Structure 1
């Protein structure tokens, strides 16, 4: 089939496209505005494939979306295009409202108009997969809490997990905008019968991750001898999901998932931020020791604690039993194997990193015109 992937030049979107081109016989139309986080260099390995096409389009542009649907005639949409950095949303929420809410509405309407015009067989087969985040649920009780109140399946610590029934309680402008887009998708399902599926994932990491996010920031700062900033005490807990595992799950949902269902996708890897940073430092000590002569400094010496983010959620953790049971998906990578692969990838792909850091990936646009 032919899948329209919005935000396909982003971190998760590019992983999805690489998976589809490399592991399936399906075709992809990559629709991306190419904001700062959109990087076509992440798709160099597949961009010459005859089953790949690229459209530089803003999801807020209704006329351009109408043209793309008419020209490419997709069988499914995987909607990943979003502003996604919490710190940026705190500093400037307007872009998040525009892209994540208005953009999702505009895309839903363009897709619905296209869907309504399909013949009955194609209409029955069409699906719209809205990809979201666990941050819409707010945060969970932390092991350091003396008591807690919450619902969900207990993990080994006895603390609850996010399930598909967890109530929404977003904390940041980013998560509030994603919660809004989730609600729009469900409303289009309920009101118009539009064939929507929704997934909510935990924190992704892996190759081609934009360096403003924790793991790539720590790796690249460490290699340059810069401070490794840790918010607060570094005891915030996240459930870490290797991006290629996530891409496999997303493809399973869009091809095998049940219309109207929500699937939570997690990595079963709860780690405190400080644990993540220290693990990266230990791997770098092994693979690329600091050039410090007899001083024998380690990368952990670069760790610096900074003022915590406003409204910082303390713990996220996903119960992914539904997607495991119904779609037979499990993550392949443990955190230990995935983080080692990730560090090694950044060590092996310094040119990609440099192009992102100096902005050349944006200036060149690989010959693409706006």
Structure 2
């Protein structure tokens, strides 16, 4: 069957990584399909606003399908119908702290969801290459630096569910010969990051405090060390994994760690603010089991895939502050934004 272009399926396409990946693939001439959950609001697909219009032209390249990673029959039907060359599983309940509150749901989506998608790919016999969004949270309490050979010790229901998915991918690769790879991505951020994730929570608070419409931000553990990179660079790493002839598992990371306090200091400082005046401690935002330090070693990805992170976390913090300040300016010029204190 001759095709004018390669076809990719992305679960989680409306998230930070999914939207960046869709843009990357469209730029490479792919036909891109994404699975989106039905929502009663119209803001759920906002990250795709710049690239998605409902199909109405012969050269349409982006198509969205209603569905959910918990619906096996839907996944099977979509893969049968579109016969993708590449499948990227980015769908997840991806908030670590929240996973302690909804562990059952997190397991259903993050663990069993991967099995459903792998099985749909296997049963369709479409020959698709499969990418699984693994996470540095697999390492948990394992001391840094962490690489592909480091032992796993997840410290949250999220990490445990993602560990199931990691081994499911390895199993389907070994048992069925699927071209299936795990991307063990360390923290990667940007202006499209969800507002409840710590980096975006910080930069959004900086914008609002600088504008005089928020008086403080409440934080949990400021001593946690993370390896923060820039999301658009990381989705290119995902793509490179599926272009390599041999499926494998790769860490993507910058190799440099910083504390949450470091990120706070740079973000507030970029707006000319002294962070100590505005940051309050909230023990309710600390995890029952903390992950103290995640710093990745991505030398394998550099050696085999030619991938390496380029944006330093300090520059990342500044660009996110600039983006949130611009976003707030745009909002204030068009409508009223109510004051928030958390």
TM-score, normalising length from structure 2? 0.86
User: Judging changes above 3 Å, is the alpha-carbon distance between structure 1 residues 352 and 199 closer, same or farther for their aligned structure 2 residues?
Assistant: farther
Does structure 1 retain, via aligned residues, the 8 Å contact 2:142–2:152? no
1:84-95 to structure 2, matched below 5 A, reads 84-95=94-105
Residue in 1 that maps onto 2:230: 242
Structure 1 residues not aligned, in runs of 5+: 142-159, 286-296, 359-370
Are the aligned partners of 2:191 and 2:323 in contact in 1 as well (CA < 8 Å)? Answer: yes
Distance (Å, rounded) in 2 between the aligned partners of 1:336 and 1:330? 17
Answer yes or no: is the 8 Å Cα contact 1:229–1:305 preserved in 2. yes
Residues 71 and 87 (structure 1), Cα distance of their counterparts in 2 relative to 1, 3 Å cut: same
Matches within 5 A, 1:95-174: 95-115=105-125, 118=126, 123=127, 126-141=128-143, 160-174=144-158
Per the TM alignment, residue 219 of structure 1 is displaced from its structure 2 partner at its CA by 2.1
CA distance in 1, matches of 2:51, 2:194: 19
**In 1, distance between residues paired with 2:197 and 2:316?**
16
Give the Cα–Cα distance (whole angstroms) in 1 for the partners of residues 84 and 120 of structure 2.
12
Query: 1:320 and 2:320 equivalent?
Result: no
SS in 2 for 1:274: helix
> Does the CA contact (< 8 Å) of 1:242 and 1:267 recur in 2?
no
2:280 aligned partner: 304
2: CA distance, partners of 1:62 / 1:100: 14
Offset at residue 170 of structure 1 (A): 0.6
The alpha carbon displacement at 1:268 in A equals 2.6
Matches of 1:196 and 1:352 in 2, distance apart?
42
8 Å CA contact 2:179–2:246 kept in 1: the answer is no
- Does the 8 Å CA contact 2:223/2:259 hold for their aligned counterparts? yes
Is 1:215 aligned to residue 199 of structure 2? yes
**CA shift at 1:258, angstroms?**
2.2
Residues 256/39 of structure 1: CA separation in 2 closer, same or farther (3 Å cut) = farther
Q: How far apart are residue 257 of structure 1 and its match? A: 5.8
Tell me, in whole angstroms, the C-alpha distance in 2 between the residues paired with 1:163 and 1:352. Answer: 42
CA distance in 2 between partners of 1:75 and 1:310 (Å) = 41
Per-residue deviation, 1:34 = 5.5
Q: 1:289-343: per-residue Cα shift (whole Å, max 9, x none)? A: xxxxxxxx74441111222321111000110000001111111211222222211
SS of 2:52's equivalent in the other structure is coil
SS of aligned partner of 1:82: coil
Which residue of structure 1 aligns with residue 217 of structure 2?
228
| Count, aligned residues | 316
In the alignment, what sits opposite 2:181?
Answer: 197
Q: Deviations over 1:224-273 (max 9, x none)?
A: 424222324x11100001101111111111223621x1000002331001
The 3 A distance-change label for structure 1 pair 336 and 40 is same
Quick check: 1:241–1:269 contact (8 Å CA) kept in 2? Answer: no
Separation in structure 2 between the aligned mates of residue 19 and residue 207 of structure 1, nearest angstrom: 17
1:27-83 deviation per Cα after TM superposition (whole angstroms, max 9, x unaligned): 2111132679x9311011111382111112111212211221122121010111111
Tell me the equivalent position of 2:68.
58
SS in 2 for 1:60: coil
Residue deviations 1:106-143 (CA, integer Å, cap 9, x gap): 1111111112xx4xxxx3xx3111111011111344xx
Match of 1:33 among 33, 37, 40: 37
SS at the partner of 1:53? strand
SS at match of 2:160: helix
